[in-house]
Chain A
């Protein structure tokens, strides 16, 4: 199997169908990024399609200096950021849905050892993060859920490492505050 560089060369030479192979290679990575920002599977698929379409339109700008997976992941994060900005406006108009009982019990529990299942944890985080700005949400997601380094986040968002550190600390404080407010609902 050829690597991405060869595949991209063939696509640029006019082999449009080969783009499907590029999509197959990177779709799991793109879905993995986007599902951190959107819980509805159908919307994740729509955002993934939007990500690959943006990549197609901008393929001329990909110079190949960094691996394609880095480039596509940056496009996915920016697609998610645009999505969060639109969602923020929609949510401020319609309000948030209620949390499930398991999630609420865990939030209110003082037991330091009680565990929460992955689905409920994602639900709690999604609820709390919807009270944050899209920029705070992206920084926290990249750092805490995807485990990316400060340098990687800075490169993805086009800011300095210091900015990332400062924003991450503030975003974490705001998230704690949002979780405390959720506890009291």
Chain B
């Protein structure tokens, strides 16, 4: 496929006409607009509406975070690094509740 043939393909496809909107298309859109939750144009959204719209992305981000955390934990365990629990115990024994210093 050379450039000339590709350009002729684009030129021919450009002439393909778009479908004509149905006569009642605008009325259908208006009906759908009226079925929308009572958020008038120009009115700011409530925080719960905004969270609701973000839901799929927030759910994906949460799932990704869980996967990354599990992978990190698995990786650290496999390489014999001290895990988070051990780190906390170490910090608390060194700084907070060292019985030898009491």
Contact = CB atoms under 8 A, between A and B. Distances in A.
B12 interface: yes
B46 interface: no
A19 B13 CA distance: 32
Contact of B29 (A53, A121, A172, A183): A53
Contacts of A119: 16
Nearest to B27: A20
Nearest to B10: A144
Given A31-B19, A122-B13, A125-B13, A11 B29 contact: no
Nearest to A44: B19
Nearest to A11: B41
B79 interface: no
A160 interface: no
Given A53-B33, A56-B33, A145-B13, A35 B41 contact: no
Interface in B20-71: 20-22, 25-30, 32-34, 36, 39-44
Interface in A139-185: 144-145, 147, 172, 175-176, 179-180, 183
Contact of A19 (B12, B25, B29): B29
Chain B interface size band reads 20 to 34
A116 interface: yes
Nearest to A111: B5
Contacts of A124: 9, 13
Contact of B1 (A11, A52, A144, A179): A179
Interface of A: 11-12, 14, 16-17, 19-21, 23-24, 27-28, 31-32, 34-35, 41, 44-45, 48-49, 52-53, 56-57, 59-60, 112, 115-122, 124-125, 144-145, 147, 172, 175-176, 179-180, 183
22 contacts: A12-B41, A16-B34, A17-B30, A27-B26, A31-B19, A31-B20, A31-B21, A35-B18, A45-B21, A52-B33, A57-B36, A59-B42, A60-B41, A60-B44, A118-B15, A121-B12, A121-B13, A121-B15, A145-B10, A147-B14, A172-B6, A183-B1
